[in-house]
Chains A and B, each alone.
Chain A
Amino acid sequence: MNNLLALSGVNTRIGHYHILQGVDFVVPQGGLTMLLGRNGAGKTTCLRTIMGLWRASAGRIEFDGADIAGRSTPAVAQLGIGYVPESMGIFAGLTVRENLMLAARAGPLDERRLDWMFGLFPALKKFWQLPAGFLSGGQKQMLAIARAMIEPRKLLLVDEPTKGLAPAIIAHMVEAFRELKRTDTTILLVEQNFHFARALGDTVAVMDSGRIVHSGGMRELAEDEALQHKLLGLSLDAHQ
């Protein structure tokens, strides 16, 4: 299988702190890769480094055959990478419609794609003309994901989409990602919720202290409780 994204020896420093200390992992084309790890492991920093929001001080970030380390954030996004930050990055003062219009760089919204998305996230249709600040947490998360997929993207980076959401909404989110997987989009998803991760992941990489400590198929990890315990500690139970 081809790798759409490959990080090798990526180092990121924030101020005086050396956060990523040589990160290596790959995201296979067309699959959903889970990036797991306890709080503070460096997962968010990793996504931000890929997006060019932090600059890697060393290492290669290969996307679609080109090294994109050091490129500006807009340049990275224009390559076809959609990003859903941990904070969701919703524009609260803009309507749902305006949030999506901004994400559609190519111009007018594609009606068919929009209908497909309304099917996944009906709330967006209902609150179409409402400032996004009025949405609930789950609806905001759905808008953030919809925004990243309003146009076909080669790769989606999604940071902890289940954070703070109720179980029923998480189940809905699983369905939405399953549907998205059918569209050939490659996804790199950061999670703390192991049940969510197990339901969706094809491959997995586990981070700790700024390094990748395990990578492989999701199924092997899901079936090996001892390994889960070793890599993720007790945190996986705390989150279900």
Chain B
Amino acid sequence: MSQAKDALPRASLDKIPLVLIPLIAVAALPLIPSLPTWVTLTIAGLAMGMMIFIMASGLTLVFGLMDVMNFAHGAFITIGAFVATSVLLPLAAWTEADKLWLNLAALLSAILAAMVVAGVLGLAFERVIIKPVYGQHLKQILITMGGLIVAEQSIHVIWGPDIIGLPKPAALRGSFIFGDIAIEKYRVLAVIVGLAVFAAMFGVLNRTRIGLLIRAGVEDSEMVEALGYRIRRIFIGVFVAGSALAGLGGVMWALYQETVSSAMGMQVMILIFIVIIIGGLGSVGGCFIGSLLVGLMANYVGFLAPKIALGSNILLMVLILLWRPQGLYPVAKR
């Protein structure tokens, strides 16, 4: 036997999509008038990408596992943001205090509350709304759209119809200054939280048995059942975790914009759909890279030609799909 024939095929991560991130950043460099502006925009883009990832990751897994497209996902984002107003505004004494730990305690309480509320509502939503329409795509679209409208109206009833202002905690305002370069503190926090969520997700998916089941289920849920596992239970867990993460993303996004409105979930959903399509439906790694690409694109183009910022992301999606029709990391489906 020849050596070549016996050689092991090498299984390595497909790194080409990773290269796209520095590629976009470098491509933007000559278009932007000054280096400090470019650095600021790049950090802003990465921070925005991380927040989109937090909001989008659950949705891509939910789709991958059970082919459920949940258009109401944005409602959990909005609800997370409103819950944050209910926690942070009464805690103004903490958020305005000059002590970092009090600021962070307030923020953590808001995050915890938002994740619990979004997670519990996610559980109820899955049991009442999604469960009856498994495998029926048209009904899923209609009923989750309906769920979104009901959620928006309920928010109006509970929190009123007006936009609510939500200032950042005192310690997270302003920027770190390095020479000519200003980096907003809150963006640094967003990057840290996003990386932490990605690392945690990566760890669960690749190092635990549940994660193994989720990855297998995304490929072929029927075979997972034939091996003796109840895929529905795994799916419910993923749905609840995805909803809770949407709630977390809602808090982060609300503090980033410092305003909360009942339409905010719907607004970011457009970017989220672009991201999960770019990444490859069901792929968490693809979702992460897609988020960063979309975040960078939104900030560079938003600076150069604000009117076409959204259009540029749609164009990005189209180009990526022309190159890889199943997204950056296609999930092998049965």
Contact = CB atoms under 8 A, between A and B. Distances in A.
A98 to B, nearest CB: 6
B332 A93 contact: yes
B334 A89 contact: yes
Interface in B207-251: 209, 212-213, 215-216, 219-220, 222-231
Nearest to A53: B222
Contact of A133 (B220, B231, B332, B334): B332
Given A87-B334, A89-B220, A91-B220, A77 B227 contact: yes
Given A89-B220, A91-B215, A103 B227 contact: yes
Interface stretch (A60-68, A123-131, A200-208): A123-131
B212 A77 contact: no
A92 B230 contact: no
Contacts of A216: none
A154 to B, nearest CB: 13
B179 interface: no
Nearest to B218: A93
B226 A91 contact: no
Q: In the complex, which range does the number of interface residues on chain B fall in?
A: 20 to 34
A102 interface: yes
B158 interface: no
Given A92-B332, A93-B331, A102-B213, A127 B226 contact: no
A168 to B, nearest CB: 14
A112 to B, nearest CB: 21
Contacts of B9: 130, 134
A161 to B, nearest CB: 16
Contacts of B19: none
Contacts of B213: 102
A51 B332 CA distance: 24
A19 interface: no
Contacts of A147: 227
A84 B122 CA distance: 35
B8 interface: yes
B216 A94 contact: yes
Interface in A85-132: 85, 87, 89, 91-95, 98, 101-103, 105, 126-127, 129-131
Contacts of A51: 226
A105 B215 CA distance: 16
B1 interface: no
Contacts of B215: 91, 93-94
A105 B219 contact: no
A194 interface: no
Nearest to B213: A102
21 contacts: A73-B226, A74-B229, A77-B226, A77-B227, A78-B228, A83-B226, A85-B223, A89-B222, A89-B226, A91-B219, A91-B223, A91-B332, A92-B219, A92-B332, A94-B216, A94-B219, A98-B216, A102-B212, A105-B228, A130-B8, A130-B9
Interface of B: 8-9, 11, 209, 212-213, 215-216, 219-220, 222-231, 331-332, 334
